[in-house]
Amino acid sequence: LLAGTLSSCDRPVNPDALTVTLEPTEEPEAFYREGLGRRTTTDAPGLWAVVSQLPRAESAVIRNARSGAEVTVALFAARRSVGGSDIEISAEAADALGIGEEPASVSVTAVRVEPNLVVPKDVF
């Protein structure tokens, strides 16, 4: 991509002047769900959640509908029923969302990381 962009220039370009950033972007068309989020009873550490019928593992942002708190998690497919809850949330992620023993209404949106070429104005 970068080589093709630079080869079309009329004058030499210093590739060191260019920067590629990785921008996280919410992708609801990849995965989106609203439902009851419940703190998991397992003690596995980390920021993660489990949902049923997930096509592939994703990064996702979970939002607490009531408080607006949000956290980015690793999202995994459930191997079995998630125990009556739509979304099983790790204790660490539940703490970040303000979810205690009672389930809370949450939304889950897939997050994909896309490369973004940053070109300073004086390069071309």
pTM: predicted TM-score of the whole model, two decimal places: 0.75
Distance CA 24, CA 113 (A): 4
Residue-range domains of the chain with CATH: 25-113 (2.40.40.10)
For position 120, what pLDDT does the model report?
80
What does the pLDDT average to over 109-122? 85
pLDDT digits (tens, 9 = 90+) for 37-79: 999 988 899 999 999 889 899 999 999 999 999 999 999 998 7
As a whole number, the mean pLDDT across the chain is 86
Which structure tokens are listed for 96?
């970040």
Nearest Cα to Cα of residue 100 among 66, 54, 58: 66
pLDDT at 85 over 80: no
